[in-house]
Amino acid sequence: MFFSDKDSTQNIEQLAKNCKKFLELQVQLLKLETTEKLTLLLSGLVVAAICIVIGLVILFYLSLAIAFWMSNHVGGPAVAFGIITAFHALLLTLLVCFRKRLIIRPITAFLGNILLSKDGETQQTTEKP
């Protein structure tokens, strides 16, 4: 059996409609996946920023408490605050020296996990019980 020209034309038209619908669905899927990944990325950044701010406040008050406690034992508040300042300078120096291991690699892994993961893999790695 051979198809007539009318059947061929209808088949081609149907194929064109299906291709157009497929492309529209692919674009919609890409938008949804991009939205999901951006949401994960931004939520991670917000949580990290909140943790950093709270951690800095805790470190500030803890440093004050330790400095005032030490002031009775080391010869006054000036010496105690100097010791705390030297300790913070040492921490900053260590942070700069080990920035790749402590900052750059974890951020790169986090971003790579979110942005380069396939469908469904992102949720498996971020939603651990």
The per-residue pLDDT for range 16-50, each reduced to its tens digit, is 999 999 999 999 999 999 899 899 889 989 999 99
Instruction: Quote the CA–CA distance of 47 and 50 in Å, as a whole number.
Output: 5
CA triple 113-28-15, angle to 5 deg: 125
Q: Residue 129's pLDDT is what?
A: 41
Q: Residue 111's pLDDT is what?
A: 86
3-state secondary structure string across the chain: CCCCHHHHHHHHHHHHHHHHHHHHHHHHHHHHHHHHHHHHHHHHHHHHHHHHHHHHHHHHHHHHHHHHHHHHHHCCHHHHHHHHHHHHHHHHHHHHHCHHHHHHHHHHHHHHHHHHCCCCHHHHHHCCC
Tokens of 6: 């009318």
Q: Residue 15's pLDDT is what?
A: 93
CB atoms within 10 A of CB 93: 10
| Mean per-residue pLDDT, 85-110 | 92
